[in-house]
């Protein structure tokens, strides 16, 4: 018997179902918040690598306060945190960096001086769960900024490069640690 994953259901979450698997390639889903890398500018549209089978498009008008005269300063190589508004097998995925009221709500260009890395989609769902113990425990260690994309990408920035790398290593290892092992590792790092 071959298993592809487990069928999961989020009660009260609009009746959402998904298959929890160890898949490597992200499949865009409308409404997902992801981290994309700008790969090209084509007229009024940016092309972003989102880890899927094809790039996503992002209009320069899809940013808070953007107009024909006031364009966002987006360069090839920039990291963008945005949301899919179009994602189906028949059309190119399309992203925006504004919510339904035209506000950025934390979306947009991500700072260049952090660290971007990839983890499994299963770990992403664990980290995005309400009251995630992993993030609560890490926040006791050092202050840091964290952006988590449903496409398996995480961007993190702490005060120093060393602190940033420690947080990256812990987040990567969390997938294979029990909560008790994680607590012991964090206790060693904090000197308690």
The C-alpha atoms of residue 57 and residue 45 are separated, in whole angstroms, by: 6
CB < 8 Å & 24+ apart, contacts of 16-24: 20/122, 20/125, 21/121, 21/122, 22/120, 22/122, 23/121
CATH class of 32-109: mainly beta
Q: Which residues contact 135 (CB under 8 A, 6 or more apart)?
A: 127, 146
pLDDT tens-digit profile of 2-51?
Answer: 344 555 555 544 455 555 555 567 899 999 999 999 999 988 999 999 99
pLDDT tens-digit profile of 71-117?
Answer: 999 999 999 999 999 998 888 999 999 999 999 999 999 987 899 99
Q: Give the residue range(s) of CATH 2.40.50.140 domains in the chain.
A: 32-109
Q: Give the residue range(s) of CATH 3.30.1370.10 domains in the chain.
A: 115-190
CATH class of 115-190: alpha beta
pLDDT tens-digit profile of 48-76?
Answer: 999 998 999 999 999 999 998 999 999 99
């Amino acid at each position: 018997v071959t298993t592809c994953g487990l069928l999961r259901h989020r009660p009260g979450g609009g009746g959402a179902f998904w298959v929890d698997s160890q898949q490597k390639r992200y499949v865009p889903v409308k409404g997902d918040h992801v981290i994309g890398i700008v790969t090209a500018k084509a007229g009024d549209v940016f092309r972003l690598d989102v880890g899927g089978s094809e790039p996503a498009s992002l209009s320069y008008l899809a940013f808070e306060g953007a107009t024909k005269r006031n364009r966002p300063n987006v360069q090839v190589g920039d990291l963008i945190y945005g949301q899919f508004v179009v994602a189906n097998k028949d059309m190119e995925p399309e992203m925006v960096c504004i919510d339904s009221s035209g506000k950025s709500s934390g979306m947009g260009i991500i700072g260049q001086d952090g660290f971007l890395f990839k983890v499994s989609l299963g770990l992403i769902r664990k980290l995005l769960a309400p009251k995630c113990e992993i993030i609560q425990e890490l926040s006791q260690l050092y202050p840091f900024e964290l952006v988590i994309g449903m496409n398996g990408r995480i961007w993190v920035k702490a005060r120093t490069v060393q602190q940033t790398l420690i947080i990256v290593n812990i987040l990567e290892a969390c997938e294979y640690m029990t909560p008790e092992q994680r607590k012991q590792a964090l206790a060693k790092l904090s000197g308690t």
